[in-house]
Chains A and B, each alone.
Chain A
Amino acid sequence: MPKPTPPPDQPLRLADIAHARSGDKGNHANVGVIAYTPAGYEFLGRYLSETRLAEYLLPLRPTQVERFAMPGIGAYNFVLHDILAGGASRSLRTDSQGKVLALAVLEMPIAAPANWREMLSPPVGREG
């Protein structure tokens, strides 16, 4: 049994346990969410479902959200269909290529699981 840990002082965001990058493919975008630790990857698998991400991004009206596992790097790649309001060629948005979607996804609040401390990011820069 893992030792129970007290809840975090601040509500956790996805950014506490994962990093991410997004980009465009025509009118679709993708967001790859990469856990910092194996415990974080296991949590993402349970928590960050297609449905949950689709709900979070609902104001941008994706028509479909698909999720693909990349266990070797502890990541899930999400394909967000028709989310770019026309994409690079026709979108009237500033972020016509979906570059900031990843950062918005990382702001998602998450319900801290008991082992949340095992999921936190290492210091930025040079790991390994």
Chain B
Amino acid sequence: MRTIRVGNAAGFWGDNLDAPRRLVEGSQLDYLTLEYLAELTLSILAHQRSKNPDVGYVPDCVTVLEGLVSHLPAQPRLKIVTNGGGMNPVACARKIAAALTAGGHGSLRVAVVSGDDLLPCIDDFLTGGEPFANFDTGTPLGPVRERLASANAYLGAAGIVEALGQGARIVVTGRVADASLTVGPAQYEFGWSPDDWQRLGAATVAGHLIECGAQVTGGMFSGWSDALPLHELGYPIAELSEDGSIVITKPAGTGGAVTVAIVAEQLVYEIGDPAHYLTPDVDADFSKVELRQECPDRVAVVNATGRPAPPRYKVSMAYRDGYMASGTLVVCGAHAARKARAAGNLILSRLKEAGVVLARTNIECLGTGDTLPGVWARHDEALEVVLRVSVHDPSRDAVERFVREFAPLAGSGPPGVTGYTGPRSKPYPVFAYWPTTIARECVAPVVDVRPASEW
């Protein structure tokens, strides 16, 4: 029975830039996936593209791919699938194609999968009867329509399957469901039917397990101890077989571990009802999954299944919602926590005296239990704490005025205030999240495959 090996070496924008090269060097892979898009990444990329039409993709993706060009001859089977195209997959593909061509690989085929960006046609959809109601609150889109910064449907595996069928060696996508980066290669390689719910469900579990990179090989493990070294952490590989069986593993000789406990933690990561993990490909069922340690660093995933795909695609929207900023200071000595809280209140009261009232504020005294106030037991006895004050307001000027209020505390606050060495924080635009859905017939992937030299 055939098996393919899919490695994932990026779990988010900002993940370790050396991980992809190390994963490719450390094992023979059929596919390398690179997953870069969190819920809000696209709104940040849309903001960048609005200032410069040549950007709007995840720059890490290009850096990584440029670094991998010289490795391609040693891994003739390797194909790469990434959603690092973000809001501008064509620009991303052009950069990658240029590096391939410069490296003498101009004939390699590079694909762009797009069609996820709904913003250009949003009013047509609205007049056509799509309300885009927020699926958490039920509120219709109306009031925030004018402030929309991005609106992207989650595409499934279909566009990736088509791109691979057209001979693509590298597939660059926009918003594709994270797990579909793994489902696409398996569906293409094994010729699974798009209604083979059981196998698509199993491949979705595999994709879910590896999509966050090292979180399934020991990173973030709540049972952390020094006994589990995390240096040179291995990134994960999913072995998917034709019959839908799945094994999670990592390259030999790397740090971390693949154990039942670690894989179980990633199975539950960011899920809702485990019986209904919805993607555009399948309504996957994780609820009866069992994990078996086959040998060190190999865990088999069994009993994953699925049901017919949901009739509507998830859509991730973001709208402009004013500005936020946070500032931090270190406060030391006796009564550090009391002094820090007083200093935080002083900042806000001085702003008030200056006529600046901010819409939302939060004072945290880190080191005392304030990351989850009231849940953590409170510890006010530390001799040093971090004061963190965060604000949100429609006015950029008001938020700018807030960040200027930190420096004066050095000479006009309680004693023991220090830690001014970093640069002053800056107000940043807020892109508030608006989760919604769209009928699947309204969305179709657009696939464009060309030799690298022709991008």
Contacts and interface: CB of A to CB of B under 8 A. Distances in A.
A68 B347 CA distance: 44
A92 B274 contact: no
Interface string A60-71: 100000101111
A86 B265 CA distance: 25
Contacts of A59: 372-375
A21 B430 contact: no
B13 interface: no
Contacts of A125: 225, 227-228, 257, 259
A32 interface: yes
B14 to A, nearest CB: 14
B432 A21 contact: no
Interface stretch (A4-12, A44-52, A98-106): A98-106
Contact of A89 (B257, B286, B366, B433): B433
Contacts, number: 169
Interface in B214-233: 220-225, 227-228
Contacts of B40: 88-89
Chain A interface residue bracket vs B: 35 or more
Given A32-B269, A123-B227, A26 B222 contact: no
Contacts of B228: 124-125
B267 interface: yes
Interface string B366-379: 10001111111100
Interface stretch (B45-53, B290-298, B415-423): B290-298
Main secondary structure of the interface of B (DSSP, over half): loop
B392 A72 contact: no
Contacts of B388: 94
Nearest to B225: A124
Given A60-B375, A70-B274, A125-B228, A90 B268 contact: no
Interface residues of B, number: 65
Given A72-B288, A73-B290, A89-B40, A124 B270 contact: no
A89 B431 contact: yes
Interface string A99-116: 111111011000000000
A79 interface: yes
Interface stretch (B62-70, B164-172, B357-365): B357-365
B379 to A, nearest CB: 13
Contacts of B376: 104, 107
B374 A60 contact: yes
B261 interface: yes
Interface in A9-65: 15, 19-21, 23-28, 30, 32, 34, 36, 56-60
B260 interface: yes
Nearest to B260: A128
B275 A21 contact: no
A19 B291 CA distance: 16
A28 B435 CA distance: 12
A7 to B, nearest CB: 22
28 contacts: A23-B269, A24-B270, A32-B269, A68-B275, A70-B267, A70-B268, A70-B288, A71-B287, A72-B287, A72-B303, A73-B264, A73-B291, A77-B268, A79-B272, A85-B362, A88-B433, A89-B40, A90-B321, A90-B433, A92-B392, A93-B371, A101-B372, A102-B222, A104-B376, A124-B223, A124-B227, A127-B260, A128-B292
- Per CB-CB distance, the 9 closest pairs between chain A and chain B, nearest first, are A32-B268, A59-B374, A128-B293, A92-B362, A23-B270, A92-B390, A72-B290, A21-B265, A124-B225
